A and B are shown apart, each in its own frame.
Chain A
Amino acid sequence: MTFKMDVKQLNLFYGDKQALFNVNLGLPALQTTALIGPSGCGKSSFLKCLNRMNDIVLQAHVEGQVLLDGQDIYAPSVDVVSLRTKVGMVFQKPNPFPRSIYENVAYGPRIHRLFKTKSELDQIVEKSLVRAGLWGEVKDRLPQPAMRLSGGQQQRLCIARAIAVNPEVILMDEPCSALDPIATAKVEELIDELREKFTIVIVTHNLQQAARVSQQTAFFHSGYLVEARETGALFTTPHDERTQGYITGRYG
């Protein structure tokens, strides 16, 4: 199996408090990996290590290796801005900029100068919105403020914004927690389609969602990666007692 990203012996500290302990996890290319585990176990922290979002956290300190296509993203030569275009992120609450729908998607390509002409930019915007499954709903109102979209539409707009810069990996931290079941289903369907081009990591508290969208599931507990297996195997025959207790809803 080829890993798009490969995390080796990762330790994360916030000041002198250790948040992640010796985590080893490979992210198979063009697959979705779900991260599950109780609140505070380190899922978001782990996710942030994958595109160095922890760099902006004071006192955060990372040890170990995070390889993207075999290259350590923490190597001194790495340009963090270009890393974040390769490893994009979608957050828990939809957070569109207070600009038009069009400008939200065009923002990244503008910053990274991914086009020469206005019509090229139009194409990127359209393609991203199509891929995010939002085009049909917004194509006649691109100049309108993004804030007028519903929550579910805003989340798909954020996904369109993330994929507009042609990332290779997309990180999502509880992307559906503010959405109703229909909007959630649309995002899940989208995740499944995006898998054709992108490697995806999703943090979710919804175990059924992890089961539905991912091919690999990783269970974290108190900063440790307890078990990472093929999703079907993890949900039918977990190996570890702690995984079993967590996914079946039993007292630990």
Chain B
Amino acid sequence: MNNHIVKAYDDELKALHSLIRHMGELTFEQISKATQSIIECDAVLAREVIDRDHEINLLETKVDDLAIRILALRQPVASDLRTVVAALKISNQVERIADYATNIAKFALILKDMPLFPEVKGLSTLVQIPMRMIKDALKAFELSDLNLALQVWHMDREVDVLYQAYLHKIFSEMIEDPKNVGPCTQLLFAAKNIERIGDQSQNIAEAVYTMITGKPFKESDNVKNEPKI
């Protein structure tokens, strides 16, 4: 798309994108470290994740401030308006995702005092797709890439399948040996949070869809024409 005649307007929209990109990178790192802190029983790493959450909250506030400023001063319309509105939504969704990462780190702090448990490694498989989803959803926002947004949307199904399989495994461990119930419950919570990261990333993909097309996302319109991954 062409540049705005008023260059400062372009700069502001770029700044909005770069804040969200920064938020996304931090959050991606938080998810990775939180999961690692459970798997490696690393309380220091878990605390680091918990302590950094406020940075993401701060970035969300910055996105809000800038977006509101653009709305007030530039009175954006059409694709610009849809971009600013999407930025407001997406920053809120990324902040939620960062909260899930913090939750996961908190479970790590509880798990570290419990007996070591083999199924913990399954989390690292489970977290792969949600991490890719948030990364790609934000890339789709930055590049206005409709196909990528739809790809992300469809990835959530895989997350659900993997999540169900993981639950199944954990439940059988719990049935097999009642002393697994304590740590398994924490793992269930952690897995649930990971699954929620997939859901939220799917919401981001929907926001990007609306931003690009100007239409609300309808599942029925998009299940059939699944894009190639």
Contact = CB atoms under 8 A, between A and B. Distances in A.
A15 to B, nearest CB: 33
Interface in A133-171: none
A235 B78 contact: yes
Given A207-B77, A248-B80, 7 more contacts: A236-B81, A236-B214, A237-B214, A237-B215, A247-B77, A248-B4, A248-B76
A237 B80 CA distance: 10
Contacts of B5: 249-251
3 tightest Cβ-Cβ pairs between the two chains A and B: A237-B214, A250-B2, A235-B77
23 contacts: A211-B77, A235-B81, A236-B81, A236-B82, A237-B78, A237-B82, A237-B215, A238-B78, A243-B78, A244-B78, A244-B79, A245-B2, A247-B77, A248-B76, A248-B80, A249-B9, A250-B2, A250-B3, A250-B4, A250-B5, A251-B3, A251-B5, A252-B2
Contacts of A250: 1-5
B94 to A, nearest CB: 24
A208 interface: yes
A232 B4 CA distance: 22
From DSSP, what is the main secondary structure of chain A's interface residues? Answer: helix
A211 B215 CA distance: 20
B6 interface: yes
B75 interface: yes
Interface in A193-209: 207-208
B113 to A, nearest CB: 54
Interface residues of A, number: 16
A249 B4 CA distance: 6
A169 to B, nearest CB: 27
Contacts of A247: 77-78
B144 to A, nearest CB: 13
Interface residues of B, number: 17
A248 B77 CA distance: 6
Most chain B CB atoms below 10 A, which of A207, A245, A250, A252: A250
Given A236-B214, A237-B214, A248 B3 contact: no
Nearest to A211: B77
Interface string A42-57: 0000000000000000
A245 B1 CA distance: 9
Given A249-B4, A250-B4, A208 B75 contact: yes
Contacts of B4: 248-250
A238 B80 CA distance: 12
Interface in B94-125: none
A251 B215 CA distance: 25
Contacts of A238: 78
Nearest to B2: A250
A235 B85 CA distance: 14
A56 B6 CA distance: 40
B78 to A, nearest CB: 5
Nearest to B6: A249
Contacts of A236: 77-78, 81-82, 214
Contacts of B75: 208
Interface string B1-45: 111111001000000000000000000000000000000000000
Contacts of B6: 249
Most chain B beta carbons < 10 A, residue from A207, A243, A248, A252: A248
